[in-house]
Structure 1
Amino acid sequence: MAKLYFAASLFNEMELAYNAQLAARIRAEIPGLEVFVPQEQGEINDKNAYADSKMIAKLDTEAVLASDVLFAILDGQVIDPGVASEIGVAYQAGIPIVGLYSDTRQQGATHPEKLAALQVLAESQFSYINLYTVGLVKLNGEVVASSDAAIEALKKYV
């Protein structure tokens, strides 16, 4: 059975709900895929309980290294630092990575006024994403713009 590690921020209701919904969809659309979702690991990620940094790093790193593919949500003001670390571990281990970057500000990339605004200080119409982390994803996999595309990409790696 193929294993997937689901790397995503998990610190508010919106993130938790989105992760749960998307993990359920991945499980439904890719039968037989074992999906490891850190927020489902109550012994380590129950925020009412206690886990120190070494416990979290050990469990999550072991789960990444036991995976056949890493799925990483890249959305947010910045890529979540934990997700970036998990991407680094997967990259170094040669594990394929599918990154989801669904930021809608990427739409209209050829619009002339948006392109002209790039020349005006503090007027970029586009989002920024850390290029080093994205480079690691692209060197071992791909970045997609929707959950539909992510599921199709994951099917290629499992």
Structure 2
Amino acid sequence: MTKKAYYAAPLFSEMELQYNRYLTDIIKKAFPALDIYIPQEQDDINDKNAYADSIMIAKYDTDALLASDIMIAVLDGATIDVGVATEIGVAYQAGIPVIGLYTDSRQQGATNEKKLAALQNIAESQFSYANLYTIGLIKTNGVVVSDKENLLKSIHTYLD
């Protein structure tokens, strides 16, 4: 039986589209039998020269997500993309494991005394922030990793 994955990531800038192609190509190479649903490749709803209303988009992507065995969610950005966060909530409610990829380099230096002391000053945090509710939904039935190598290991773990 073919395993299915849902790939959730921001998809509105050329940078985001290129990164999504890059990362999903790596995943496809590592897991050739894995059927990956990638929303940006769904022209019925994501061809921005065409038209798809909110109900069409929600139904199309939600149906694909609910048919998946795992969800891979890119959490990078100034905040977690609102669509990705919504999809994480759907996956949580359906009991679908989520593997979150959070590569923000500001996570480094957690023992640096100056960085820790800076937390006492308003607006001087040297660390990144991800919404803890959304992270909690992921960690309840999944994992958050910080690089593509651990992403691939986690995919393997959750597919076995």
TM-score (norm 2): 0.98
- Offset of residue 157 of structure 1: 1.1
Q: Provide the rounded CA distance (Å) in 1 between the counterparts of 2:83 and 2:40.
A: 13
Q: Provide the rounded CA distance (Å) in 2 between the counterparts of 1:129 and 1:155.
A: 25
Residue in 2 that maps onto 1:103: 104
Letter of the 1:9 partner, please give it: P
- 1:138 equivalenced with 2:139 (yes/no): yes
Q: Provide the rounded CA distance (Å) in 2 between the counterparts of 1:20 and 1:42.
A: 15
> Aligned-residue CA RMSD in angstroms?
0.5
Structure 1: which 4+ aligned runs deviate by more than 2 Å? none
- 1:40 equivalenced with 2:41 (yes/no): yes
Taking the TM superposition and a 5 Å limit, the aligned residue runs for 1:87-102 are: 87-102=88-103
SS of 1:48 mapped into structure 2: coil
Q: Provide the rounded CA distance (Å) in 2 between the counterparts of 1:148 and 1:3.
A: 20
Q: Provide the rounded CA distance (Å) in 2 between the counterparts of 1:75 and 1:55.
A: 26
Q: Provide the rounded CA distance (Å) in 2 between the counterparts of 1:84 and 1:123.
A: 26
- Offset of residue 91 of structure 1: 0.4
TM-score (norm 1): 0.99
- Offset of residue 31 of structure 1: 2.0
Q: Provide the rounded CA distance (Å) in 1 between the counterparts of 2:114 and 2:58.
A: 45
Structure 1's unaligned 5+ residue stretches are: none
Q: Provide the rounded CA distance (Å) in 2 between the counterparts of 1:31 and 1:102.
A: 24
Taking the TM superposition and a 5 Å limit, the aligned residue runs for 1:1-158 are: 1-158=2-159
Structure 2's unaligned 5+ residue stretches are: none
Letter of the 1:47 partner, please give it: K
Among all aligned residue pairs of Structure 1 and Structure 2, give the percentage whose two residues are the same amino acid: 61
SS of 1:110 mapped into structure 2: coil
